[in-house]
């Protein structure tokens, strides 16, 4: 079976994440310790004990989710006696999960990634004053009608406020981002068009839209400081929904990703076109694996979070 390893993004964090892994596997504990050392912070304690309010701060969430995902990948390699390239044809990650994917595939070093994500979280938080931006999810409406609504709202706006599609997650699941007023206008239009559900999201900043340009500039400077190697298997990139292995292209795409659309639905469709039959989600939660069949009914999804999941997966190889 041809499979890809995929890595979750923000929103999958939970108190207790990674604890089972750390208790069961020395290699997982080593991952968490290396991240703690790189950040000069006891992130592991925060992940294990909370409070959730502090764990949910973007600057903490991003390296925590990455550490858990990479821990699963390292355990798979150690316990299975196989390299990642022996188990997967591609890697892909949702937003910050792209950093997890690249680290698991050996393109980025773990300590570098931890520091990059700490910087990324802080930069994204600072890019837009609280209350200026917003994000919203539209459920039950596909990408083309949403793009039409965004264009309609922009054409009738009397100011320069922006609203764009931030995430094309799956059929019937699209996320908007931009100025709060502009996002609210698109939501009202969507309700008039009969959208099944439209809701503002409890986020601290409007991610993946042009308002994040200051954060993109910061990440360009931060990424220039680190070495990026060709990944063990190609990355299917968020902003292109296409495979990439060239280090400098990866570096540029990670900068673009801060302001660009997460083309997750297209990425999954692309992997299906490359004869991938299964997406295996590594880390916390089951968000990506749960969306698989909504995008491609011929593809299966599964999630590896704890020792029992990992054992079952390795036994299936």
Tell me which H or E stretch contains 24: helix 19-24
CA distances from 214 to 125, 128, 251 (A): 10, 9, 17
Cα distance between residue 109 and residue 262, in whole Å: 23
Which residues are catalytically annotated? 95, 208
Tokens representing 147 are 């793009």
Map tokens 């995008």 to a residue.
Answer: 295
Cα distance between residue 18 and residue 14, in whole Å: 9
Q: Are strands 300-304 and 278-282 parallel, antiparallel or unpaired?
A: parallel
Residue 312 class from Cβ within 10 Å (0-12 exposed, 13-18 middle, 19+ buried)?
A: exposed
| Residue 83, C-beta contacts closer than 8 angstroms, at least 6 positions apart | 77, 232
């Amino acid at each position: 079976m041809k499979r890809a390893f995929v890595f979750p993004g923000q929103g999958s964090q939970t108190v207790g994440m990674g604890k089972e892994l750390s208790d069961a596997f020395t290699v997982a504990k080593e991952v968490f310790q290396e991240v703690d050392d790189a950040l000069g912070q006891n992130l592991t304690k925060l992940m294990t004990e909370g409070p959730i309010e502090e764990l949910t701060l973007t600057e903490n969430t991003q390296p925590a989710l990455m550490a858990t995902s990479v821990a699963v990948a390292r355990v798979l390699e150690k316990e299975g006696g196989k390299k990642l390239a022996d188990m997967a044809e591609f890697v892909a990650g949702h937003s910050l999960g792209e950093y997890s994917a690249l680290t698991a595939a050996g393109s980025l070093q773990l300590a570098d990634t931890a520091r990059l994500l700490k910087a990324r979280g802080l930069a994204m938080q600072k890019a837009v004053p609280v209350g200026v931006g917003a994000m919203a999810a539209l459920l039950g409406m596909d990408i083309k009608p949403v793009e039409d609504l965004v264009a309609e709202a922009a054409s009738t706006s009397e100011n320069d406020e922006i609203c764009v599609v931030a995430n094309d997650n799956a059929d019937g699941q699209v996320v908007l981002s931009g100025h709060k007023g502009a996002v609210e206008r698109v939501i009202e239009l969507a309700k008039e068009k009969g959208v099944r559900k439209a809701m503002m999201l409890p986020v601290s900043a409007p991610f993946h839209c042009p308002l994040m340009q200051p954060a993109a500039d910061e990440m360009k400077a931060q990424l220039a400081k680190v070495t990026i190697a060709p990944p063990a298997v190609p990355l299917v990139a968020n902003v292109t929904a296409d495979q990439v292995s060239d280090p400098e292209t990866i570096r540029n795409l990670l900068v673009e990703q801060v302001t660009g659309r997460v083309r997750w639905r297209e990425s999954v469709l692309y992997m299906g076109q490359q004869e991938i039959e299964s997406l295996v989600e590594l880390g916390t939660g089951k968000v990506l694996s749960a969306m698989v069949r909504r995008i491609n009914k011929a593809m299966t999804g599964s999630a590896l979070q704890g020792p029992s999941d990992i054992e079952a997966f390795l036994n299936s190889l």
